[in-house]
Amino acid sequence: MNELGEKVSLIIPTLNEVGSIEAVLKEVPRDVVDEVLVVDGHSTDGTPELVARLGCAVVQQPGRGYGDAIATGFRHVTGDIIVLADADGSYELDDVRHLVQRVREGADLALGSRYLPESGSDDDTVIRYVGNKAFTLLFRAMYHVEISDALFFYAAVRREVAQAITATSPGFEYILEFLIKAQRAGFKFAEIPSAEKARTAGKSKVNAFRDGLKMLWCMTRAKLRRDGGF
């Protein structure tokens, strides 16, 4: 905890990440992070068993999908500030320090961005880059949130934010649902530059076409339903 007594929790969703999770856990800045929780999505490669052998807390999510994993993590962690990161080795985990600092400076949500100066991505394909840019521009136009990378959910949020927002989308569209509901609730956003490394093992779980359609529908449905319902 810091001098204010604020506890920092880190949630890491996993699905068959046995090739990368050990290295990722070793990179966690333990002088900043007080609690690490791995939320496993029914891996079949021994990921949860490996995490347990490494002495880290692991829970099984009841359903399936990225959104269900994050929602499960929110229910289990105990921190005042909650950080979300992936298990594939692509995140620069030292940036947890900067995300947490932005929250301590007054932001309700601090988001990493691959598209600010001094950032970038080694994992973007042309299709992913164009898709990320297009969705971010559309999100900004529809919801008037001045962020530069709407689909990179490397984030730190105050516990009050996680408790106030009930996002229920099970897949990657959860990211947009969460951000839309945060904007409508009046929470304050901040960004930091964060470079994305090439993943160290496994394959991306994102299907550009299928998940892209779900994200587009998520944004459209929320816009049509002015009460914020999904």
CATH of the domain at 49: 3.90.550.10
Let me know if residue 194 belongs to a domain.
Answer: yes
Bigger pLDDT: 127 or 49?
49
Higher pLDDT, 160 or 209: 160
Average pLDDT, the chain: 90
Tally of domains in the chain: 1
Tell me the residue length of the chain: 230
User: Is residue 89 pLDDT above 60, yes or no?
Assistant: yes
pLDDT for res 201 = 73
Angstrom distance (rounded) from CA 38 to CA 157: 17
Decide if 1 is inside a domain.
Answer: no
Q: Which residues contact 3 (CB under 8 A, 6 or more apart)?
A: none
**Distance from C-alpha of 158 to C-alpha of 80, rounded to nearest angstrom:** 6
229, part of any domain: no
Confidence class of residue 87 from pLDDT cuts 50, 70 and 90? very high
State residue 50's pLDDT score.
Answer: 98
What pTM was computed for the model?
0.89
- Whether 2 maps to a domain, the answer reads no
Residue 65 lies in a domain: yes
Q: Beta strands of 114-199 (E only): which ranges?
A: 155-158, 189-193
**Structural domain span for residue 48:** 8-224
pLDDT exceeds 80 at position 203: no
Say how many CA atoms lie within 13 Å of 13 toward its Cβ. Answer: 24
183 domain-assigned: yes
Q: Which residues pair with 8 in a beta bridge?
A: 81
Q: Which residue has the higher pLDDT, 146 or 202?
A: 146
142-192 per-position pLDDT tens digit: 998 889 999 899 999 999 999 999 899 998 999 999 999 999 999 999 999
Amino acid 216: pLDDT: 80
